[in-house]
Each structure stands twice: as C-alpha cells, then as structure tokens.
C-alpha cells in the first residue's frame, strides 16, 4: 500500500474497532477493503501508529503523544510549542522516511462545546484545524449519543476533507471525503484516525 494509491480513492469509510481501545480502521468507500489500521498505544501515553494492514507488519505513521517538560526525542526536536502545550498534542512522523510532517493539538476548553483540533506545521505553527461544522450539531451529539458528528479538516485556509458521522449504536463511524487533492494525504488520514478512533467523541478513546 502506498500514499499515491490512498490519494487515488474517491472516498473512505472510517470506524473505531469494537473492543479496540482506541483502534481505528480506514476502508475504501464501500467498506470492503481495509486500507489503513491505526493502533493506539496506551501504556505511557505513547499515542498511536498507523499500519498498512491489521497484521501491523508495515508501519506508515507514528503519532506521538507529547507532554510538557523535557523531551529530547528525535520526534520532539524543533517542536518547542508542542512541548509547552497543556492540552492533548500529537506530533506526526512518517515512519518510512523519519520526516516530521506536522501535528495536532486539541483546543481544550473550546472542545468541550465544539470539538476542535489545531493542525500544526513541523515547526509548530498553526496551519489549519479540524472542527465540528455545526455548533448545534455538536451540542446535540453530546446530549444524544446517536446524533453523528460532522467535521471539516482545513489546511492552509482551504477545506482539505470532510468527515461525516454515521448513525451508530456502538462505535463511531464516518464517511471521509478528500476535497483538496493537494493536501498532504498523510495528515488527512492521520486526522481521520485521530477523530474516528483514538480521540473520537471528545476524547473517549484517549
């Protein structure tokens, strides 16, 4: 599986694995072929890793959970604003190349009412956000479990993708549509895994 193939898809189906403890799976639009498998690592708050299959033999992305204080790891170097963050923050590395490609930071108090994540560049600058599209919809999704959440993923002032929740009784499920083919597909897919499985429903999976 390569990123060019992922980029060529018309749409995707994202869902959290039942009993998966934050594991999310990204399929083709029909839900018939597994394309990406994101596995959360809870011990030590490591974050999550994205693989090309459920066998987890080929790692593509490492999204590391960052904390305050001293951190001399290669992933955290150059991410000063990440280490200062109080809210949930992930730095995102391409596991194949070792390249730090960006990160995500939750907008703490704001996310209580309307789930919002900042998208950060490799040097920690804010370049976009993941946000629920409707304030009313966000409110209803918190009051009524079956009301699905709907997100827009925006990068550099342009809508990069849309993540639309499906009505689901047990686990979060989303339809993902990439609307900007120039957006970094690795960041879009990591965002989908973050919301769809690891941190969905305001951090229930974190």
List the one residue out of 130, 96, 128 whose CA is nearest residue 116. Answer: 130
Convert the pLDDT of each residue in 69-113 to its tens digit: 444 344 444 444 444 444 689 999 999 999 999 999 987 545 455
107/86 Cα distance (integer angstroms): 10
Across 146-158, average pLDDT: 84
188/176 Cα distance (integer angstroms): 10
Convert the pLDDT of each residue in 137-149 to its tens digit: 444 444 445 556 8
Phi and psi for 27 in degrees, rounded to 5? -110, 175
Phi and psi for 7 in degrees, rounded to 5? -65, -30
192/177 Cα distance (integer angstroms): 10
The pTM (predicted TM-score) of the whole model is: 0.81
Question: How many distinct structural domains can be found in the chain?
Answer: 1
**What 3-state class would DSSP assign to 44?**
helix
Range of the domain at 45: 3-203
CATH of the domain at 154: 2.40.160.200
100/10 Cα distance (integer angstroms): 27
């Amino acid at each position: 599986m390569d990123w060019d193939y992922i980029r060529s898809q018309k749409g995707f189906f994202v869902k959290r694995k039942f009993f998966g403890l934050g594991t999310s799976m990204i399929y083709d639009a029909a839900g018939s072929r597994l394309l990406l498998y994101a596995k959360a690592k809870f011990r030590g708050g490591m974050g999550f890793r994205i693989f090309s299959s459920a066998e987890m033999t080929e790692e593509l992305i490492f999204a590391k959970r960052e904390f305050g204080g001293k951190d001399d790891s290669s992933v955290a170097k150059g991410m000063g604003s990440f280490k200062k963050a109080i809210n949930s923050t992930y730095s995102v590395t391409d596991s194949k190349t070792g390249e730090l490609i960006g990160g995500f930071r939750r907008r703490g108090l704001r996310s209580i009412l309307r789930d919002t994540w900042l998208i950060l560049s490799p040097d920690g600058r804010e370049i976009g956000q993941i946000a629920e599209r409707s304030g009313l919809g966000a409110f209803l999704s918190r009051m009524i479990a079956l009301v699905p959440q709907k997100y827009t993923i925006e990068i550099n002032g342009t809508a990069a993708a849309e993540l639309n929740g499906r009505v689901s009784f047990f686990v979060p499920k989303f339809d993902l549509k990439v609307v900007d083919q120039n957006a970094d597909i690795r960041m879009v897919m990591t965002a989908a895994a973050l919301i769809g499985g690891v941190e969905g429903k305001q951090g229930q999976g974190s």
